[in-house]
Amino acid sequence: MVKARYTPLQTVVDGAEERYPQLATASSLDGMPVVVADLHSALPAVLAGIRTERPSARVAYVMTDGGALPLWFSRTVDGLQSAGWLAAGTVTVGQAFGGDLECVTVHSGLLAARHVLNADIAIVTQGPGNLGTGTEWGFSGVACGEAVNAAAVLGGRPIAALRVSSGDARERHRGLSHHSLTAYGKVALARAEVALPDVGDAFWQGVASQAAELETRHAVIPVPVDGLDAALRSSPVRLSTMGRGLEQDYAAFLASACAGRLAGRLAGRLAGR
């Protein structure tokens, strides 16, 4: 099948849907936790959180086409795979290409992660880069809500990673970003578990107050943060979001790590630990 269709990057890839017979009949994720995040920079932090609960979990990255289309633009993925943090592999969906598996949609990409890569957990987020306009609906992270719906309709356990910032100069992204409020609060029609760091200081109390808006549709789950600092600092790749590192925007990475921790716990229960 063709990806990056009708562009100078157009490439023919081997589509997983037609290569693997099990995908012809697969229709369920069998309860697999699916972490959904807005930014590519959340990926290593989510993995760090997973590893605090289930270091042996087979994790697959499902890359959507909201950012860069070629997966090999991501030095983060290269470093994570080299370190063994993405043991199951990668799936590129939509117009994105270059993953271990190539799929047409997020739905078939999640099924491929489960039934071909034998993943225990999947992480869905866009590739490097991001597109936003400062408007309520004009940003690529709207796809987070659609990914929640896809995970739910396939019988997975959607887990929403909040986009949080303590260092962004833009008011719309300080505390809980409006991206999360729109994608999870309006686009996601299916119920997700929203991971919220269980921290009692004024900043996180403010985030919790903002996240309460999501409780009409989702379950907001307080997640303990003990051990997550060490986990984040053990990342084999540099943590960076919008040019800010761990110290410059600690809250961004902590929120993502909590989503990973929640996924690790759910995967453990699924495995009967």
1 lies in a domain?
no
Residue 216's Cβ-count burial label (10 Å; 0-12, 13-18, 19+) is exposed
Domain hosting residue 46, numbered range:
13-270
Structural domains counted in the chain:
1
Indicate whether 66 belongs to any domain: yes
Type of residue at 232: L
Residue range 43-99, pLDDT digits in tens: 999 999 999 999 999 999 999 999 999 999 999 999 999 999 999 999 999 999 999
The contacts of residue 54 (CB under 8 Å, 6+ apart) are 120, 121, 264, 265, 267, 268, 273
pLDDT at 169: 61
Distances 235 to 47, 92, 156, 223, 263 between C-alpha atoms, Å: 9, 23, 27, 20, 18
Cβ within 8 Å of residue 82, ≥6 positions away: 236
Q: Are 94 and 125 in contact (CB under 8 A)?
A: no
| CATH at residue 68 | 3.40.50
State the pLDDT confidence band at 250, using cuts at 50, 70 and 90: very high
Supply the pLDDT for residue 56.
Answer: 94
The encoded tokens of residue 60 equal: 């697959």
Q: Confidence class of residue 174 from pLDDT cuts 50, 70 and 90?
A: low
Indicate whether 86 belongs to any domain: yes
